[in-house]
Amino acid sequence: MNFSSKLLENAVSEFGRLPGVGQKTALRLVLHLLKQSDAEVLRFTSAINHLKEEIQYCRICFNISDFQECEICTSSKRDHSIICVVEDTRDVMAIENTNSYQGSYHVLGGLISPMDGVGPSDLKIDGLVERMRKQDIKEVILALSATMEGDTTIFYLYRKLKEFNVQVTTIARGIAFGGELEYVDELTLGRSIATRTLYERPTL
C-alpha cells in the first residue's frame, strides 16, 4: 500500500500483526481510531498497556487473574476437590458461562503438540501434579479439545495422574445438541454410538 504517512503506516503494520487482521482491515481500524477523540484513543491503548503490565496468573490454577490467587481458587463456594483441566482462559470462561460447574480449574496454557514444538514441560503440568500432592483431590476432569493435540495431552496427563488416588474423567464427546445426524462426521457418529448412554426418561 502507498501510505501518505509513516505514522499511519506504522500503526497499520502493528495492527496487521494481530491474528486474522489483514492490511485492509488494519487500515480501517486505524482510521477509525484516528477519528476518535484523544481521550478515547488513550483509553484504548492504556487498557492494553495496563493489562500487559499488571496481569497476573493465579499461582494455584494459572488462570489469568488480577491477583496472586484467582477468584475461583479463593472462593469458599467452590468445590476444591474437583479440578477441571483446560487449555486456556477462554475455556474457563466458556465453562463458567454454562453455570453448571462448581469445582476449580487448572489452566495448562496450551496442549502438547510436537509439530509446534510444544512439549509437556512447556505446560503447567508440574503445577497440576503438585496440587495432587498438596490438596485432597477426588476428581480430575480433562476438558480438552477433541483434537490430536488434545488426545495426546489427555493420554500424557492420564499417565501422570495414575499414581494418585483420583478419578480421571474426560468430558463427553458425541453429537451436539441440535445437531442433525446427517451432517455429523463419521468419526463422531461412530464414537457416539460406541459410547451410547442409557436413555433416561425425563421426569415430567
* Identified binder of a second copy from the candidate list 69, 74, 78, 88, rule CB under 8 A: 88
C-alpha cell recorded at residue 168: 480421571
| Residue 68 sits in the site that holds a second copy (CB under 8 A) | no
Of 52 and 133, the one with the shorter C-beta distance to a second copy is 52
Helix axes 148-161, 125-134, angle to 10 degrees: 30
Q: How far is the CB of 146 from a second copy (least distance, A)?
A: 20
Among 22, 59, 71, 179, binds a second copy (CB under 8 A): 71
Q: Does 59 bind a second copy (CB under 8 A)?
A: no
Taking the C-alpha atoms of residue 99 and residue 107, their distance in angstroms, rounded to an integer, is 18
DSSP 90-140: HHHHHHHHHT---EEEEE-SS--BGGGTB-GGGTTHHHHHHHHHHS---EE
Q: Mask of contacts with a second copy, 10-49, x by CB under 8 A? A: xx-xxx-xxxxx---x-xxxxxxxx---x--xxxxxxxxx
Packing angle of the helix pair 6-16, 23-35 (nearest 10 deg): 120
Window 169-188: contact mask with a second copy (x via CB under 8 A): --------------------
Binding site for a second copy (CB under 8 A): 1-8, 10-11, 13-15, 17-21, 25, 27-34, 38, 41-55, 58, 63-66, 70-72, 88-90, 92-93, 96-97
